[in-house]
Amino acid sequence: MAAVSQLPPPRGGALQRLQDNYVARIDEHVDRLLDGYSDLLTMSKTGDRLQTERENLQLDITAARMVHAGESLLMVVNELKHIFLVNDFAARNSDLAALSEEYERQADESRAALRRLELEVGDVERELAQARRLQALAGSQPPPLMSPEPADTPHVTDSHS
């Protein structure tokens, strides 16, 4: 119970009420467990080995209440874990920052690759322009951009005309 009272105070009225609610629920379940345990101890201290049906029934009821309080306490702990995992903004922000850094690194690599490709395309364009100028100066025709059809390919002609 000391760990529960050492929780840092949350900001905001709604969060404070939520924390107070959880602290109250935890205190209630722990008190039930302690009461049940003390009841079991007092009932088991009877000097008579032969217990009556009433005492056996009381022991069963007390044990069942303790089990119920323990299960309820486990449900509260499960809720708190869920809330912590869902609302752990520091961890989520850290994950987002790591993802952002990774995406920035990938973007930088992509930009660098794009710059290299732009430089290569520029070099190829300059070489092509220079080759065409040289061919124009030499008086020959520049090479066609598309390759000509092979000579051994038969041309289809319309025989009906």
What pLDDT score was predicted for residue 77?
Answer: 87
Q: If you search the block for the tokens 């794009």, which residue do you land on?
A: 114
pLDDT tens per residue, the chain (161 residues)?
A: 444 445 455 555 777 787 888 888 888 888 988 888 888 787 776 656 565 777 778 888 888 988 998 899 899 888 888 887 777 677 777 888 888 999 999 999 999 999 999 999 999 999 999 998 888 888 765 555 555 555 555 555 555 54
Phi, psi of 156 (to 5 degrees): -90, 125
Token pair belonging to 30: 């722990």
What pLDDT score was predicted for residue 139?
Answer: 74
Residues 80, 15: Cα–Cα separation, whole Å: 13
Residues 66, 31: Cα–Cα separation, whole Å: 10
Output the DSSP codes for 16-70. HHHHHHHHHHHHHHHHHHHHHHHHHHHHHT-S-SS--HHHHHHHHHHHHHHHHHH
What region does 20 belong to: left with phi over 0, alpha with psi -120 to 50, or beta? Answer: alpha
Handedness of CA 50, 52, 53, 59 (dihedral sign): negative
What pLDDT score was predicted for residue 1?
Answer: 41
